[in-house]
Protein backbone atom coordinates (compact mmCIF):
# COMPACT_ATOMS: atom_id res chain seq x y z
CA UNK A 1 0.00 0.00 0.00
CA UNK A 2 1.08 3.61 -0.60
CA UNK A 3 2.61 5.55 2.25
CA UNK A 4 0.17 7.11 4.69
CA UNK A 5 0.46 10.91 4.75
CA UNK A 6 -0.53 12.59 8.02
CA UNK A 7 -1.84 16.15 7.77
CA UNK A 8 -2.21 17.95 11.12
CA UNK A 9 -5.00 20.57 10.99
CA UNK A 10 -5.29 21.42 14.68
CA UNK A 11 -3.81 24.90 14.30
CA UNK A 12 -6.59 25.76 11.85
CA UNK A 13 -9.66 23.53 12.13
CA UNK A 14 -8.87 22.76 15.73
CA UNK A 15 -8.63 26.37 16.90
CA UNK A 16 -11.12 28.17 14.65
CA UNK A 17 -14.03 27.41 16.96
CA UNK A 18 -12.24 28.39 20.18
CA UNK A 19 -13.16 31.68 21.84
CA UNK A 20 -9.86 31.93 23.72
CA UNK A 21 -7.20 33.12 21.28
CA UNK A 22 -3.88 31.26 21.38
CA UNK A 23 -0.88 33.64 21.33
CA UNK A 24 1.31 33.49 18.25
CA UNK A 25 4.39 32.38 20.17
CA UNK A 26 2.50 29.46 21.69
CA UNK A 27 1.19 28.43 18.28
CA UNK A 28 4.76 28.47 17.00
CA UNK A 29 5.86 26.25 19.87
CA UNK A 30 3.11 23.76 19.02
CA UNK A 31 3.99 23.86 15.32
CA UNK A 32 7.68 23.28 16.04
CA UNK A 33 6.93 20.30 18.28
CA UNK A 34 4.46 18.81 15.82
CA UNK A 35 6.93 19.25 12.96
CA UNK A 36 9.62 17.47 14.98
CA UNK A 37 7.26 14.54 15.64
CA UNK A 38 7.50 13.27 12.07
CA UNK A 39 4.11 14.42 10.78
CA UNK A 40 4.14 15.12 7.06
CA UNK A 41 1.95 18.23 6.76
CA UNK A 42 0.81 20.92 9.19
CA UNK A 43 -1.98 23.37 8.41
CA UNK A 44 -0.79 26.63 9.93
CA UNK A 45 -4.04 28.57 9.60
CA UNK A 46 -6.59 30.05 7.24
CA UNK A 47 -6.63 33.35 5.35
CA UNK A 48 -10.01 34.62 6.44
CA UNK A 49 -11.38 37.91 7.74
CA UNK A 50 -9.66 38.39 11.13
CA UNK A 51 -12.67 40.29 12.48
CA UNK A 52 -14.93 37.31 11.81
CA UNK A 53 -12.37 34.76 13.01
CA UNK A 54 -9.78 36.43 15.29
CA UNK A 55 -8.20 33.06 16.10
CA UNK A 56 -6.77 33.09 12.55
CA UNK A 57 -5.63 36.73 12.55
CA UNK A 58 -1.94 35.81 12.81
CA UNK A 59 -1.83 33.29 9.94
CA UNK A 60 0.25 35.57 7.68
CA UNK A 61 2.68 36.27 10.53
CA UNK A 62 3.03 32.57 11.33
CA UNK A 63 4.02 31.75 7.76
CA UNK A 64 6.52 34.61 7.67
CA UNK A 65 8.12 33.51 10.94
CA UNK A 66 8.23 29.85 9.88
CA UNK A 67 10.24 30.93 6.83
CA UNK A 68 12.93 32.64 8.92
CA UNK A 69 16.44 31.09 9.00
CA UNK A 70 16.70 28.37 11.61
CA UNK A 71 13.04 27.39 11.40
CA UNK A 72 13.28 25.09 8.39
CA UNK A 73 11.87 21.59 8.83
CA UNK A 74 12.96 19.35 5.95
CA UNK A 75 10.21 17.01 4.85
CA UNK A 76 7.39 18.95 6.55
CA UNK A 77 4.91 20.81 4.34
CA UNK A 78 3.17 23.82 5.88
CA UNK A 79 -0.27 24.36 4.38
CA UNK A 80 -2.79 27.20 4.44
CA UNK A 81 -6.54 27.24 3.85
CA UNK A 82 -8.04 29.82 1.50
CA UNK A 83 -11.71 30.50 0.75
CA UNK A 84 -11.46 33.23 -1.87
CA UNK A 85 -9.12 35.18 -4.15
CA UNK A 86 -8.17 37.69 -1.46
CA UNK A 87 -7.04 34.86 0.79
CA UNK A 88 -5.05 33.34 -2.06
CA UNK A 89 -3.26 36.66 -2.64
CA UNK A 90 -2.41 36.87 1.06
CA UNK A 91 -1.04 33.34 0.91
CA UNK A 92 1.16 34.18 -2.06
CA UNK A 93 2.44 37.30 -0.26
CA UNK A 94 3.59 35.46 2.88
CA UNK A 95 5.15 32.50 1.08
CA UNK A 96 2.66 29.64 1.33
CA UNK A 97 3.84 26.67 -0.74
CA UNK A 98 0.77 24.46 -0.40
CA UNK A 99 -2.84 25.65 -0.54
CA UNK A 100 -5.96 23.88 0.64
CA UNK A 101 -9.30 25.05 -0.71
CA UNK A 102 -12.72 23.53 -1.12
CA UNK A 103 -16.42 23.72 -1.72
CA UNK A 104 -19.36 22.30 0.20
CA UNK A 105 -21.63 19.77 -1.47
CA UNK A 106 -24.42 21.24 0.68
CA UNK A 107 -25.76 24.48 -0.73
CA UNK A 108 -26.98 25.57 2.71
CA UNK A 109 -23.62 24.92 4.36
CA UNK A 110 -21.82 26.60 1.46
CA UNK A 111 -23.83 29.80 1.86
CA UNK A 112 -23.29 29.87 5.63
CA UNK A 113 -19.57 29.17 5.29
CA UNK A 114 -18.64 31.30 2.26
CA UNK A 115 -21.70 33.34 1.28
CA UNK A 116 -21.78 31.50 -2.06
CA UNK A 117 -23.85 28.72 -3.54
CA UNK A 118 -22.15 25.39 -4.25
CA UNK A 119 -22.10 26.16 -7.98
CA UNK A 120 -20.58 29.63 -7.46
CA UNK A 121 -18.00 28.32 -5.01
CA UNK A 122 -16.99 25.47 -7.33
CA UNK A 123 -16.32 27.86 -10.22
CA UNK A 124 -14.17 30.09 -8.02
CA UNK A 125 -12.27 27.24 -6.37
CA UNK A 126 -11.44 25.67 -9.74
CA UNK A 127 -10.07 29.00 -10.98
CA UNK A 128 -8.10 29.56 -7.77
CA UNK A 129 -6.70 26.04 -7.83
CA UNK A 130 -5.50 26.50 -11.38
CA UNK A 131 -3.89 29.83 -10.47
CA UNK A 132 -2.04 28.35 -7.50
CA UNK A 133 -0.90 25.32 -9.51
CA UNK A 134 0.30 27.57 -12.34
CA UNK A 135 2.40 29.44 -9.77
CA UNK A 136 4.09 26.17 -8.82
CA UNK A 137 2.25 25.71 -5.55
CA UNK A 138 0.88 22.49 -4.15
CA UNK A 139 -2.90 22.33 -4.18
CA UNK A 140 -5.43 20.16 -2.36
CA UNK A 141 -9.10 20.67 -3.17
CA UNK A 142 -11.85 19.34 -0.97
CA UNK A 143 -15.56 18.61 -0.92
CA UNK A 144 -17.04 19.54 2.45
CA UNK A 145 -20.26 17.98 3.79
CA UNK A 146 -19.46 15.10 1.44
CA UNK A 147 -21.14 12.49 3.64
CA UNK A 148 -24.13 14.48 4.85
CA UNK A 149 -25.13 17.91 6.09
CA UNK A 150 -26.37 19.08 9.49
CA UNK A 151 -28.89 21.34 7.72
CA UNK A 152 -29.91 19.37 4.62
CA UNK A 153 -29.34 15.82 5.87
CA UNK A 154 -28.56 13.41 3.04
CA UNK A 155 -26.16 14.62 0.36
CA UNK A 156 -26.48 12.65 -2.92
CA UNK A 157 -23.33 10.77 -3.87
CA UNK A 158 -23.53 11.88 -7.48
CA UNK A 159 -23.38 15.52 -6.35
CA UNK A 160 -20.07 14.85 -4.58
CA UNK A 161 -18.66 12.83 -7.48
CA UNK A 162 -19.70 15.57 -9.91
CA UNK A 163 -17.72 18.19 -7.99
CA UNK A 164 -14.68 15.91 -7.83
CA UNK A 165 -14.94 15.31 -11.60
CA UNK A 166 -14.78 19.09 -12.11
CA UNK A 167 -11.62 19.23 -10.02
CA UNK A 168 -10.00 16.42 -11.98
CA UNK A 169 -10.95 18.00 -15.32
CA UNK A 170 -9.14 21.14 -14.14
CA UNK A 171 -5.99 19.14 -13.36
CA UNK A 172 -6.51 19.29 -9.59
CA UNK A 173 -5.87 15.68 -8.63
CA UNK A 174 -5.35 15.76 -4.84
CA UNK A 175 -8.88 15.63 -3.49
CA UNK A 176 -10.12 15.49 0.10
CA UNK A 177 -13.60 14.46 1.19
CA UNK A 178 -14.61 16.13 4.44
CA UNK A 179 -17.26 14.80 6.81
CA UNK A 180 -18.08 18.26 8.13
CA UNK A 181 -21.22 17.21 10.00
CA UNK A 182 -19.84 13.86 11.19
CA UNK A 183 -22.58 11.87 9.44
CA UNK A 184 -20.34 9.32 7.70
CA UNK A 185 -20.31 5.61 8.41
CA UNK A 186 -17.67 3.08 7.30
CA UNK A 187 -19.82 1.47 4.58
CA UNK A 188 -20.59 4.89 3.08
CA UNK A 189 -16.91 5.83 3.25
CA UNK A 190 -15.87 2.73 1.31
CA UNK A 191 -18.58 3.31 -1.31
CA UNK A 192 -17.90 6.99 -1.89
CA UNK A 193 -14.13 6.67 -2.10
CA UNK A 194 -14.65 3.69 -4.40
CA UNK A 195 -16.69 5.96 -6.68
CA UNK A 196 -13.86 8.50 -6.68
CA UNK A 197 -11.28 5.84 -7.47
CA UNK A 198 -13.38 4.85 -10.48
CA UNK A 199 -12.93 8.35 -11.92
CA UNK A 200 -9.32 7.57 -12.84
CA UNK A 201 -6.00 6.31 -11.57
CA UNK A 202 -4.47 9.77 -11.29
CA UNK A 203 -6.46 10.85 -8.25
CA UNK A 204 -4.77 11.16 -4.85
CA UNK A 205 -7.43 10.75 -2.16
CA UNK A 206 -7.53 12.47 1.23
CA UNK A 207 -10.03 12.34 4.08
CA UNK A 208 -11.14 14.65 6.87
CA UNK A 209 -13.46 13.18 9.48
CA UNK A 210 -15.19 14.66 12.50
CA UNK A 211 -16.07 12.52 15.50
CA UNK A 212 -19.51 14.05 16.13
CA UNK A 213 -21.20 10.67 16.54
CA UNK A 214 -18.21 8.59 17.61
CA UNK A 215 -17.36 7.05 14.22
CA UNK A 216 -14.33 9.15 13.30
CA UNK A 217 -11.60 6.51 13.73
CA UNK A 218 -13.75 3.77 12.22
CA UNK A 219 -14.31 5.96 9.18
CA UNK A 220 -10.60 6.73 8.91
CA UNK A 221 -9.78 3.02 8.95
CA UNK A 222 -12.44 2.36 6.29
CA UNK A 223 -10.93 5.13 4.16
CA UNK A 224 -7.48 3.56 4.44
CA UNK A 225 -8.91 0.22 3.37
CA UNK A 226 -10.51 2.00 0.38
CA UNK A 227 -7.16 3.35 -0.81
CA UNK A 228 -7.05 6.78 0.83
CA UNK A 229 -3.50 7.92 1.51
CA UNK A 230 -3.86 11.40 3.11
CA UNK A 231 -5.42 11.76 6.56
CA UNK A 232 -6.32 15.06 8.22
CA UNK A 233 -6.64 15.22 12.01
CA UNK A 234 -6.24 17.59 14.96
CA UNK A 235 -4.18 17.15 18.13
CA UNK A 236 -6.35 16.59 21.18
CA UNK A 237 -9.41 16.09 18.98
CA UNK A 238 -9.90 19.87 18.88
CA UNK A 239 -12.14 21.60 16.43
CA UNK A 240 -15.38 21.71 14.57
CA UNK A 241 -16.79 23.85 11.80
CA UNK A 242 -18.52 26.92 13.29
CA UNK A 243 -20.87 27.02 10.30
CA UNK A 244 -22.42 23.57 10.69
CA UNK A 245 -25.51 22.75 12.75
CA UNK A 246 -23.69 20.68 15.39
CA UNK A 247 -19.97 21.38 15.70
CA UNK A 248 -17.72 18.63 17.06
CA UNK A 249 -14.03 17.90 17.09
CA UNK A 250 -11.84 16.37 14.45
CA UNK A 251 -10.46 12.88 14.53
CA UNK A 252 -7.72 13.14 17.13
CA UNK A 253 -4.17 13.02 15.74
CA UNK A 254 -2.64 11.03 18.56
CA UNK A 255 -5.54 8.54 18.44
CA UNK A 256 -5.12 8.18 14.66
CA UNK A 257 -1.35 7.72 14.92
CA UNK A 258 -1.89 5.14 17.67
CA UNK A 259 -4.33 3.28 15.38
CA UNK A 260 -1.77 3.19 12.59
CA UNK A 261 0.95 2.07 15.01
CA UNK A 262 -1.30 -0.81 16.06
CA UNK A 263 -1.55 -1.99 12.43
CA UNK A 264 2.23 -1.56 11.96
CA UNK A 265 2.18 1.69 10.01
CA UNK A 266 4.06 4.98 10.49
CA UNK A 267 6.17 4.00 13.47
CA UNK A 268 8.49 6.80 12.37
CA UNK A 269 6.02 9.30 13.87
CA UNK A 270 6.63 10.07 17.54
CA UNK A 271 3.35 9.57 19.37
CA UNK A 272 4.75 11.01 22.61
CA UNK A 273 5.62 14.30 20.94
CA UNK A 274 2.03 14.75 19.73
CA UNK A 275 0.64 13.70 23.12
CA UNK A 276 2.75 16.41 24.75
CA UNK A 277 1.19 19.07 22.50
CA UNK A 278 -2.31 17.77 23.24
CA UNK A 279 -1.62 17.91 26.98
CA UNK A 280 -0.29 21.44 26.66
CA UNK A 281 -3.43 22.45 24.77
CA UNK A 282 -5.61 20.95 27.51
CA UNK A 283 -3.71 23.01 30.07
CA UNK A 284 -4.03 26.16 27.97
CA UNK A 285 -7.79 25.80 27.50
CA UNK A 286 -8.19 24.50 31.07
CA UNK A 287 -10.46 21.62 30.14
CA UNK A 288 -10.35 17.97 29.14
CA UNK A 289 -10.03 17.51 25.39
CA UNK A 290 -11.95 14.80 23.52
CA UNK A 291 -9.00 12.65 22.43
CA UNK A 292 -8.24 9.38 24.24
CA UNK A 293 -4.57 8.50 23.95
CA UNK A 294 -3.24 11.71 25.54
CA UNK A 295 -5.09 10.67 28.72
CA UNK A 296 -4.82 6.85 28.65
CA UNK A 297 -1.37 6.61 27.11
CA UNK A 298 -0.61 4.27 24.19
CA UNK A 299 -0.50 0.49 24.19
CA UNK A 300 3.24 -0.31 24.12
CA UNK A 301 4.60 -1.19 20.71
CA UNK A 302 4.76 -4.93 20.16
CA UNK A 303 2.34 -5.82 22.96
CA UNK A 304 -0.20 -8.42 21.87
CA UNK A 305 -3.74 -7.11 21.48
The answer to whether residue 224 is domain-embedded is yes
pTM comes to 0.94
Residue 46 lies in a domain: yes
Identify the H or E element spanning 86: helix 85-93
In angstroms, the Cα distances linking 254 to 5, 8, 216, 250, 280 are: 14, 10, 13, 11, 13
| Residue 241 a catalytic site member | yes
183 burial (CB, 10 Å; 0-12 / 13-18 / 19+) is buried
Residue 303 has what pLDDT?
62
Q: Which of 7, 13, 19, 12 is nearest to 249 (CA)?
A: 13
Domain presence at residue 208: yes
In the structure, what pLDDT confidence band is assigned to residue 151 with cuts at 50, 70 and 90?
confident
| Residue 244 counted as domain residue | yes
Query: Tens of pLDDT along 42-95?
Result: 999 999 999 989 999 999 999 999 998 877 788 999 999 999 999 999 999 999
Domain, as residue range, for 285: 5-296
Say which of 149, 207, 241, 252 is annotated catalytic: 241
- Tell me if 303 is assigned to some domain: no
Domain count, the chain: 1
Tell me, yes or no, whether 301 lies in a domain.
Answer: no
Burial classification of residue 149, based on how many CB atoms lie within 10 Å of its CB (0-12 exposed, 13-18 middle, 19 or more buried): buried
Q: How many CB atoms lie within 10 A of CB 99?
A: 25
CATH number at residue 14: 3.20.20.70
For 196-247, write each residue's pLDDT tens digit: 999 988 999 999 999 989 999 999 999 999 999 999 999 999 986 554 444 5
Amino acid sequence: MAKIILHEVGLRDGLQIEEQTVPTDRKLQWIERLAASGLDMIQVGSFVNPQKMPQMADTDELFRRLALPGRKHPGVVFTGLVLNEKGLDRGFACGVDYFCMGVSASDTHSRKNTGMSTAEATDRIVAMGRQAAAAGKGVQVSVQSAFGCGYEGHVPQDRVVGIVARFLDAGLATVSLADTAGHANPAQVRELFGALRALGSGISMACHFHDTYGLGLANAYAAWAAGVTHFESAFGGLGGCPFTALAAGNVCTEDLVHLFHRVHERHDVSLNAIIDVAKDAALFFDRALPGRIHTTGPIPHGQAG
